[in-house]
Amino acid sequence: MDEPYTNERQIAELAVQRATILTKKIFNDSAKGTLSKADNSPVTIADFGAQALINHALQKNFPQDEIVAEEDTDTLREKAHLRNLVWDSVGDTRLEDQAAEELLGGPVGDQDQMLQAIAAGGSAGGPKGRLWVLDPVDGTKGFLRGGQYAVCLALIVDGEVQIGVLGCPNLPVDDTAPIPSTSASIVPEDDDVGVLFSATIGRGATSRALSRGSLTAPKGIQMKPVQDTAEATLCEGVEAGHSALDDHRAIAKRLGITKESVRIDSQAKYGSIARGAGDIYLRLPVKKGYQEKIWDHAAGDLIAREAGGSVTDAQGKRLDFSRGRTLADNSGVVASAREIHRHVLEAVSAVLDEKTKAG
């Protein structure tokens, strides 16, 4: 029997891999002074450039599919200097393997084609049809620090995530290596750094080393078995503005966790727990009514679940990607090994209840 979505997954993996070539170059050019931060934020150029490259590949291969992506073209159409900087990066970025580049449909032809590709990400989403969901640079501050960020792409069909791909250029390839939390002035071209995670629904999750050409050999990944929550490691974001870190600490205390948390930006957290570099990922809202964007979770949600984890909101409901561009029916995100998920949710509920009573 043929594997489902084989072609879609290969295109998604190659498209994300090509986009990470661009993001790494932009960061290094900025760090070396080749790209002036006074002109425009390097992450802005990386966002637009990665979205152009990936959307172009999706349009070439799946022209009938819709795309939900974070960026639009209003700013680029107004600012010629920024548009030229983005084009300089997009026009120069190719996979070194010609066959792989041709699978993606080849390079973006010109600035008009670049703008058209970026603008293609304006779908409203919804419960029907095939929908690609893209976050071109997830973890803005991680990117700027030379820390962790991710290029994130998922395919949703009739409201259910079928494929998830995460390109994490600064994660160590070795599953057991410590995750660097410090920033880097220049990200090296290192065979030991840069991971591509991917998953297809019902077929498990894999990781492989990122490359500049064809895809490297994959290996299956699994969440680490955890029987006692006190032995777990919490994985959480760096920025207090993105999730309620005080609540996370209270939850960790209830679970008996004493290990220091792994704090990294972006959906790299999903990839990290999926391969056993952490056990619990929490992202609780900092303000009432906040709705998470679907591009911040779709790829990571599937990868963590296919690696043997459970992913729900704070109330224990599966994340619902069929409600448009946000997770309108969910509040917060809780991901963990399946065997401890109920205990984690109980701790989350207790902490949130106490917070509500305290006013």
Q: Which residues are catalytic?
A: 47, 140
Cβ partners under 8 Å of residue 320, min gap 6: 159, 327, 328, 329, 330
Q: Is 81 exposed, middle or buried (0-12, 13-18, 19+ CB in 10 A)?
A: exposed
Question: How many Å separate Cα 166 from the centre of its chain?
Answer: 5
Q: Alpha-carbon distance 273 to 336, whole Å?
A: 8
Contact assessment for residue 278 and residue 335, using Cβ atoms and an 8 Å cutoff: no
